[in-house]
Chain A
Amino acid sequence: MATLPKRIIKETERLVSDPVPGITASPSDDNLRYFEVTIDGPSLSPYANGKFQLELYLPDEYPMCAPKVRFLTKIYHPNIDKLGRICLDVLKDNWSPALQIRTILLSIQALLGAPNPDDPLANDVAQEWKQDEQKAISVAKEWTEKYAVSKD
């Protein structure tokens, strides 16, 4: 396997030694570009108390292109689709090589605290969100309880 760029090694070390509160990221044993990630739902959001699992992959072109990230835990959110794909500008056209894994994960956590139904990926969810925000928030809470809160 090709050697890992120094930047990725440094980022990984820092993610482990100096983790961001509410976020964990650890590289997989057999692929150091592939990370298991958890993000805690922001406390003042419908996702509060939920621990969401994600997967993250650093393509060969990283940091010239964005990491690829996906939710593995089901989540009701206008910018996250049924397959866990995320609609977030910094993951697409607004990527910058000065951003890092930790800044991207923080942006995703921020997206949980500030759903944006006007720039939707999950069209049906965005529709419901716009029509009846209170109801959408209660569904998001239900899903969080059902899929993202550990039962032990």
Chain B
Amino acid sequence: MSKVPRNFKLLEELEKGEKGLGAESISYGLANQDDITMTYWNGTILGPPHSNHENRIYSLTIICDETYPDKPPKVRFTTKINLPCVDSEGHVIISNFETLKNWKRSYTMETVLLELRKSMALATNKKLPQPVENSTY
């Protein structure tokens, strides 16, 4: 497989997100519709069932800079959340989150959002006390 250049990979991801072809429990799109550099993105995660996150919707910002996808994107929750891999300002801590720590070029923003959702549902995390619903950083 040859290396898909950054812009064309992001275009593929955008199209998948626009057409709603991916998983239903997450969504993502460009923060600014005419950002020709495709750097700033918004994402949402629907809290997994049977956890303290059930029925909550979490908003995130994702930054795919020039180094993406060779390097992982910078991910930050804007909705307050209590998770071991998220710091006090909502930033996802790379060293605490496997997907970003062992980043592969084939991963996508969808991978990141789905894995974050999975970590919310982990036995050790799902009953963690959570901030007031819809509060933001």
Contact = CB atoms under 8 A, between A and B. Distances in A.
Contact of A74 (B3, B4, B36): B36
A7 B9 CA distance: 24
A72 B7 CA distance: 10
Interface string B1-32: 11111011001001000000000000000000
A31 B4 CA distance: 9
B90 to A, nearest CB: 28
Interface string A36-70: 00000000000000000001010110000000101
Interface in B95-137: none
A77 interface: no
Given A57-B8, A82-B36, A31 B1 contact: no
A84 interface: yes
Given A2-B2, A60-B2, A84 B36 contact: yes
A70 B1 contact: no
B68 to A, nearest CB: 15
Contacts of B4: 57, 59
A57 B33 CA distance: 23
Given A1-B2, A31-B2, A72 B8 contact: no
Contacts of A1: 2-3
A83 B5 contact: no
A74 B38 CA distance: 14
B11 A68 contact: yes
Interface in A127-142: none
A67 B36 CA distance: 19
Contact of A82 (B1, B7, B11, B33): B33
A15 B107 CA distance: 34
A54 to B, nearest CB: 11
Q: Which 10 A-B pairs have the closest CB atoms?
A: A82-B34, A57-B8, A34-B5, A68-B8, A33-B2, A57-B5, A60-B2, A31-B3, A83-B36, A60-B1
